[in-house]
Amino acid sequence: MSGGAPVRLAFRAWRAPAFRAVNWRGLWAIYYGYGISRFLRFGLETLAGPLISSLLFLLVFVVGQRGIAGEMLPGIGLTEFVAPGIVLNTVIYTAFQNSAAMIVMDKMEGTIADVQMAPLSALEIVAGFALSAASCGIAAGLLVAAGTALFVDYSSFDVTVLLGFAVATALLFAFLGIITGLWAERWDHYSAVEGFVIVPLGLLSGTFFTVARLPDGWRDWIYYNPIFYAVDGFRAGFIGQAETSLALGAMILMVLNLALALVAWRLFAAGYKIRP
């Protein structure tokens, strides 16, 4: 036998992993039937609630401080500075809640087994959950943007920057919501992540203040907050100014999305806290 024979035999024994076609019908069932329909079913809570709370934020931080705030950035007043951050925070909270709460509810009711038994891969299930939650977040953000347009001039904006940062941020917190939902065993766990992680990161994201106005010690820490880069990039799409590099912010969001998507996929594939 020639020296190349073992190599040829080994090559023949090896088979590339088979990738079956995507189950588009099942993916659509997860995306719309399992996610979007629930979101629309509770429209008063999922759409009217974020709109009212966001407008209250705008009134408290803008109308109440109009006379003392001055310019936040050169040529940018408080209203124009704060409003985009409020819109993006709505996207964040809605995307996180729709993915995390949906999984926690299904685990507690025992219906998560229906998803596991469907002819879908773990990747397709994660994609369906993440895309539906991200879509709900963007829908809520559009509604809030329309509401804040009563107070803010949105006549000039960069669509590419806005959509890029909005979609990346919505997906990021949809993936985080999936991981939270799989980890949480009861509503207290879900509330803990929302109250001790999501809310503080949102309030300390630079939505209501500029980095230049922070003390030196706090100024260094804000750069470790991923929502800061999301808000800064999204805001730049409206006002044309950013406090940090848009390329750096986009890269950070992309890396975090890939990392969380991988974690969510592995957890679903392993049946983490959902298999008996």
pTM, two decimals, is 0.86
* CA dist., res. 145 & res. 19, Å (int): 41
Q: For the chain, what is the domain count? A: 1
For residues 117 and 64, give the distance between their C-alpha atoms in angstroms, rounded to a whole number. Answer: 53
Is position 16 within any domain?
no
| In-domain check, residue 275 | no
Asked if residue 3 is part of any domain, the answer here is no
Residue 78 lies in a domain: yes
Looking at residue 214, its pLDDT comes to 82
Over residues 50-97, the pLDDT tens digits come to: 788 888 877 776 666 655 555 677 777 788 888 899 999 999 999 999
Q: How far is CA 191 from CA 100, 187, 194, 214, 264, in A?
A: 10, 6, 5, 29, 19
pLDDT < 50 regions, the chain: 1-2, 4-19
The DSSP secondary-structure symbol of 209 reads S
- Asked if residue 13 belongs to a domain, the reply is no
Alpha-carbon distance of 138 to 170, in angstroms, equals 7
Residue 190 lies in domain? 22-270
265: in domain: yes
Cα–Cα dist 173/187, whole Å: 18
